[in-house]
A and B are shown apart, each in its own frame.
Chain A
Amino acid sequence: MRKWTKLAMLMSMAFCILLQVCVAQTKLVKGKVTDAKDGTPILGATIKSDKTDFTTVTNPDGTFEFKAPSAATKLIISFVGFKTLELPITSDFSNIQLEEGASKALSEVVVVGFGTKIKKDLTGNIAKVKGADVQNMPVPNFTQALQGRAAGVFVESNNGKVGEGVKIRIRGSGSISASNEPLYVIDGVPINSSSNLAFSGNPSADINFNDIESFDILKDASAAAIYGSRAANGVVLITTKKGKQGKTNFQVNTQYGINKPTHLRGFLDAKQYVDLLREAATNSDNIDGVDPSDPDSWLTFAEGRLDRYSGWSDWRTSETNTNWEKLAFNDNARTSAIDISASGGTEKTKYYISLSYNNQDGILIGNKFKRLSGRINLEQIVASNFKIGMNLSISQTNAGRVPVDNEFSTPMQIVALSPVTPFRDKDGNVYNSPTTTYSNPYVDFTDGHWSSTIYRNLGNIYGQLNFTPSLFFRSEFGVDIQNQNDDQFYGFRTTYGTGTNGYGESDWNKVLNYNTNNYFNFSKNFSDVHDVEVVAGMAFQRYQNDWANVIGEQFPVEALQKLASAGLIKTGTSNQTYSSFLSYFARANYKFNNKYLLTLSGRVDGSSVFGKGNKYGVFPAASVGWIISEENFLRNSPTLSFLKLRGSWGLTGNADGFGNFAHLGLWEGVSYGGVAGLSPSQLANKNLRWEKSNQIDIGLDFGFFNNRLSGELDYYNRKTQDLIYDVPVPGNSGFTTQTVNIGAMQNKGFEIVLNSDNISGRNFKWSTNLNLSFNNNKIIKLDGSRDTLAGNDGRYLNSLIVGQSIGVFYGPKYAGVDKENGDALYYISDGKTTTNDYSEAGNFIVGNPNPKVTVGFGNTIKFKGFDLMFLFQGVFGNSIMNGAGGFMSSSFAWFDNQTADQLRRWQKPGDITDVPQLRLGYDNGTSASSRYIYKGDYIRLKNITLGYNLPSSVIKALKISSARFYVTGVNLLTFTKYDGWDPEVNTDYRAGNRNQGSDFYAAPQIKNISIGLNVGF
């Protein structure tokens, strides 16, 4: 440890010696900037001098005033899409003409860790998504807004619950038991993005993404390695909007829309239910050799149940036919939003402030989401060489939650109820158990609530000191504070509250996450051909999570819902966990002659989650680039305007997601008979160390026809070693798993990005972009002694198998129905012979939940005042397993209502079908097998927006600067062969690295259509 301290001291000393003093005096420069092509003024061009950090931007008429220090020798004028101009300070600035330069895309500024770079000079792979592209998308989570917008970034919402879990995988899954989620960094603060499992919601839903200027997604190891141990799954750098010099610009956006489920599945109606149930009971009687008219027969039993289920109505005449599925949904779900922002500044002060309110009803009964958020971003230049600033947001999220998918009380489980059951009894009360098959989730909705309130503060303050024009020191301190309270009450008739006279729960969750970054940046051009940039510094982060739960029962009346009225406090607990990271990092960029690029970086990370001797890890990376189009032989090519070859290698780490003390052998407090005791909770592994991810990336960036057609091709190979994995150990040890570094996994893939300005006229513009990613995930090694960790748990088959992708479905292969007797058949291990005995069935790889291909295809068309944007997003090559098949498509194994496909069941010898004979009380083909696996490919119209901008004459008359009406829609069209509700699914109660592609009463995704108005003044 001391070694590092010394090194850091030395480093800072070295910098001290390098420093020179500069003194500031200023002189006023005035001028005007225009487009060289047609002389139109350029608004927003940046003016700066070579000696300070002061910048200013041009006014709408192209003019500017700039206070340059007297030491300044040059004025630098830059604007996106134009060549940067450097003019001696003594020049005439009255008409500075900028020439169109490299395409906008190439000169775009990309945020890299602890700095920025222009895209042209990048040697790593970074995908940029502009905030403007996702602005006003009617989804609560920014992660959902990213879906389909960047190559190699796979986004999947668990289900259609609003503001809940979303999975993001950058270039596939790298880990089995550690986290596979990327690191999110907002304005330099690594944020808490993983939810405490005991709590509802998704921390990313607290962030108003209309405040976001850009997402820069660091995909390859060289780009991400500056984040070392946190970067194995990629890094998403989020930059919020900053003010620009000029008059205050107000933006107001209002939006209103409706939400619907993407798809309803359809279940048996009352007559079908009765017919099939009686058939199933009769079949079971025949098997048992019991006369169906016998009082002990299955048929008598089933008809007794029908009497019970049909309440006041007569099931024999189909008097009632309730569509329970529809009752799970709120058919009056609305979305409304309003955003107001103001930004502007003087040459010394720049600000951006915003206020936003977003109210989105979920499609499920009881599911709601409201967010009120505000932000202040402020930067002040204190002296010519010193600036300070802050970015601060505060938000309140109020949500109505619904239980996870495997709870009887979750709305979607209402589909299990019988269609013969009337919705209400004669007194107008919603029917409940025992009339309903199971307790009715609708009662949990009407007689219960689960409201969640989250306060989130995200912010940082920083100071930046310029020692010389080429050297600065920046210090940042950031916090991410999350305070959550979940308040639940379920009344006397609800699933949780029956028999206990109500159920109340109060949960408090607090996350405090603070960090500091301190680094030097040195950048200088030597002899016009050598560009050098060096960044070196340190970072420290501490994360702490405290939470408490109290549960009470026995409420006097349903009107008293707080625990103060609970007659019995059943449990109360408080809990805590924490971790910390100490890091040192350095990066050097070198560019020679604008052609040859080299980046070297390294990070040393110390983490509290590992034990003595294993705390520190070293994460180096290197990358090179060659801008071939700058070479003489290509320089004047009429078609090829840009060509860059780049290659990178890097090592990144993973220390998240497997518990903060996994290396320790631990005992925890328990109690028996009211007396406290100690019980072993974790098996030690003193050798636990970093999971390391080794990635190479080879990429080609190109532009044709003056960059009207541009793109990127990337091949990558990412190999995770020392995989952190909870390996099953013999249960006779008293433990079930041990967290160990074992095994290896590989993700190989190819990414294609194409951007095309198809038509670029004055009145008509059409551009297209396509991103296409192929990823192949493969487990290279497990624990060495085993090649297969079979995961058949009776409902699901997600397994770990060497040579296969993580979580493949491995288990019995369904062989259809014995046409002689209606038995479900499976293949035995030879793959040919069939058996009706599930336990004799062989195991096969019967599906893969990992998509092979993901695609995003977007178009933007502008015609006069109109603009049309649409984005298709697709996922291909994955399978989905319906874990609820054994209940809802089970040949009436029990009384759950069945899916419509059960109508084609086997009925008599000779029938050829895939649905076995109906048998009440028997499991005929209901165990987990390929029978419940479906193709999960889909392509959907993720987002479409049609806008109209009022013409400038009207705008001027209204004394505003812009006005736009728009209609926008999310998930309006879905093309899929998946039989279930929605192919974008991974049931929330078991979603994990290995447990993917599972459906279990998961709500379909939300389909939204909204209208909006955007006004600037």
Chain B
Amino acid sequence: MRRSIILASILFSVVIIGCSKKIDLTPSTSVAEEFVFTSDQNIKAALLGAYNAVSSSYVLGGDYLLYSELLGADGEIQWAGTYNQPREIFNKAILTNNSFVTTTWTDTYKAINICNNIVNAIDIVNEDDRDRVKGEALFLRGVMYFELVSFFSQPYSAGNATSNPGVQLITTPTIGNISEANYIARSTVQEIFNQVLSDLKEAKTLLPDENDIYATTYAASAFLSRVYLQMEDYENARDEADNVIENSGYELTGNYEKAFNNSVNSSEDIFAIQVSEKDGDNDMHLFWSIPEYSGRDGDVDVEQKHLNLYEANDARLALFYLDDLDIYRSGKWKLNYKNIPIVRLAEMYLTRAEANVRLSTEVGATPAEDLTTIRIRAGLSAKAATLDNILLERRLELAHEGQRIQDIKRLKKSVDGFDYNANELVLPIPLREVNASNGILKQNPGY
């Protein structure tokens, strides 16, 4: 009997001692943030994380492109889907709690935060790769701020850039906790553009000429040309475009169709979001394609008004296809699991042509030569290189690729009855952000 008592007591004690360590557990599917900033390899993995964040369906995985086209619809496309969030954008009656817009904001800053982390820990990266890694992080950060300021603020062309509110400028990483730095007011449009320019310019000097599917010095140049164009700085826009055309080695695809629905970057993709069966989302395909090609429900219809802009034998017109219901669909987003071109070489030709015309220069080539290059590829003959012709060519060449509203705004056109600088064409600051900011973050006018 006494033995059993002793046994019970021993058992009891053993169980207690045995268990006490077992409540120190760490997860097996994630790593502690402290661990991330300990090696070259980890920082490079974080860089992939930054690309992944940028490729979110709410960011360059489609939605920024979709918003641009929906805002710039002007009767040329129609949102015919059941989702109310894109419909609000299409109708220019966006609610501040629009969940698409909200996630676009938070996912964009998620990408920025990863870039900030990389820049902050850049000294851990091997010296050989340090410039490239930093360059890529700065490139992605610059692109993200450019997208933010393009959609959530009044355009640069509206003037008052030094007083119009841009977005919140964060260049330090969030580590360990939220800090006071996260409770800040919006910087001005000018300050955000300055940040974009400084990130992209530094990236341009740091990045290599070739970098697989990742950012190159020419991707930075191409984005710089876009940014300068928005700022109506045609000289710089022209020179950056020229740099890409002359030095990068990218070439227009043999025919127009080949520039789209690609699983590997085409010869003219300066920067593209990688999408495959296993990895990445393509919201442009999701909403623009039809169930037959795994699209949602043909949510974006292309209207006759748009098709009327093309000449009859335009290869770009031929790319549109009719579905079973006799509705035209954009062939650019037809197939599932295909890359999303973000900047194509064709845009550089058109930017250079436009800037050359505006400045009456012939840097790299004459405007007529550039225009012809684009038109011939589309199966068309040469045409007078007037500003209007170049702008129309740009509109057709880049149709439904997410550039429409930016072009409308910089050209000070109106769309669907709204002036280029109408409040309705600016996305609202997400309600959750206004609420989470302790009153510091101010909503856009009109919301």
Contacts and interface: CB of A to CB of B under 8 A. Distances in A.
Interface of A: 1, 4-5, 8-9, 12-13, 15-16, 19, 21-23, 304, 308, 385-386, 433-434, 438-439, 465, 467, 473, 475, 498-500, 516, 518, 537-538, 540, 542, 553, 568, 570-571, 575-582, 584, 606-608, 615, 660-661, 664-686, 728-736, 738, 785-786, 789-790, 792-794, 838-839, 886-887, 894, 896, 922-923, 926-927
A584 B12 CA distance: 11
Nearest to A792: B97
B284 to A, nearest CB: 15
Interface residues of B, number: 100
Contacts, number: 291
Nearest to A579: B25
Given A682-B30, A923-B84, A498 B291 contact: yes
A483 to B, nearest CB: 20
B9 interface: yes
13 contacts: A9-B16, A21-B2, A434-B324, A500-B294, A580-B23, A665-B33, A666-B32, A729-B182, A730-B182, A733-B178, A734-B174, A735-B110, A735-B178
A5 B23 contact: no
The 10 A-B residue pairs with the shortest CB-CB distance in the complex, in nearest-first order = A677-B48, A734-B113, A499-B294, A679-B49, A673-B274, A665-B33, A731-B106, A666-B30, A608-B25, A12-B9
Given A542-B22, A678-B45, A735 B30 contact: no
Contacts of A677: 45-52
B12 A518 contact: yes
Interface string B1-24: 110111011011101110110111
B190 interface: no
A475 B16 CA distance: 13
B297 A13 contact: no
Contacts of B430: 731
Nearest to A540: B19
B431 A790 contact: yes
B55 A16 contact: no
Contacts of A568: 277
Contact of A683 (B30, B35, B177): B177
A540 B15 contact: yes
B30 A794 contact: no
A510 B322 CA distance: 48
A894 B82 contact: yes
Contact of B22 (A467, A553, A580): A580
B9 A16 contact: yes
Nearest to A677: B48
Contacts of A736: 106, 432
Interface string B24-63: 1111111111111000001001111111110100000000
B29 A498 contact: no
Given A678-B31, A679-B110, 15 more contacts: A1-B20, A4-B16, A5-B16, A467-B1, A473-B12, A540-B15, A580-B19, A672-B51, A674-B274, A679-B53, A680-B174, A734-B113, A790-B431, A923-B91, A923-B93
B304 to A, nearest CB: 8
A473 B52 contact: no
Interface string B265-284: 00000000010111110000
A664 B34 CA distance: 10
Interface stretch (B197-205, B405-413, B433-441): B433-441
A705 B5 CA distance: 49
A5 B48 contact: no
Contacts of B29: 575-577, 668-669
Contact of A667 (B1, B46, B99, B184): B46
Contacts of A571: 278
A471 to B, nearest CB: 10
B196 to A, nearest CB: 16
Contact of A678 (B46, B95, B99, B176): B46
A516 B15 CA distance: 9
B1 A22 contact: yes
B89 to A, nearest CB: 12
B248 interface: no
B176 A499 contact: no
Contacts of B323: 434
A81 to B, nearest CB: 37
B174 A735 contact: yes
Contacts of A540: 15, 19, 22
A475 B12 CA distance: 9
Contact of A789 (B11, B52, B435, B441): B435
A794 B22 contact: no
A674 B276 contact: yes
A670 B23 contact: no
B297 A672 contact: no
B195 interface: no
Nearest to A838: B95
Contacts of B50: 677, 679
A677 B1 CA distance: 62
A671 to B, nearest CB: 5
B23 A673 contact: no
A269 B277 CA distance: 42
A894 B82 CA distance: 7
Interface string B282-318: 0000000001111101000000000000000000000
A670 B52 contact: yes
B168 interface: yes
B23 A581 contact: yes
A730 B178 contact: yes
A736 B433 CA distance: 9
Contacts of A684: 33, 176-177
Contacts of A674: 274, 276, 278-279
A567 to B, nearest CB: 10
Interface string B95-106: 111110000011
B85 interface: yes
A734 B25 contact: no
B294 A667 contact: no
Contact of B30 (A4, A553, A668, A672): A668
B176 A665 contact: yes
Interface string B362-375: 00000000000000
A115 to B, nearest CB: 18
B192 to A, nearest CB: 12
Contacts of A894: 82
Contacts of B46: 667, 677-679
A304, A582, A894, A926 — which one has the most chain B CB atoms within 10 A of its CB?
Answer: A582
A564 B431 CA distance: 47
B336 interface: yes
A786 B435 contact: yes
Contact of B33 (A8, A570, A577, A667): A667
B112 interface: yes
Nearest to A472: B8
A679 B52 contact: yes
A887 B22 CA distance: 51
Contacts of B441: 730
B5 A19 contact: yes
Given A16-B6, A730-B182, A923-B84, A582 B20 contact: yes
A13 B16 CA distance: 14
Contacts of A735: 110, 113, 174, 178
Contacts of A538: 12, 15-16, 19
Nearest to B7: A465
Given A608-B24, A664-B32, A730 B113 contact: no
B109 interface: yes
Contacts of B237: none
Given A665-B175, A794-B98, A607 B9 contact: no
A685 B336 CA distance: 40
Contacts of A19: 2, 5
A499 B42 contact: no
B5 A728 contact: no
B15 A734 contact: no
B55 A672 contact: yes
A16 B3 CA distance: 10
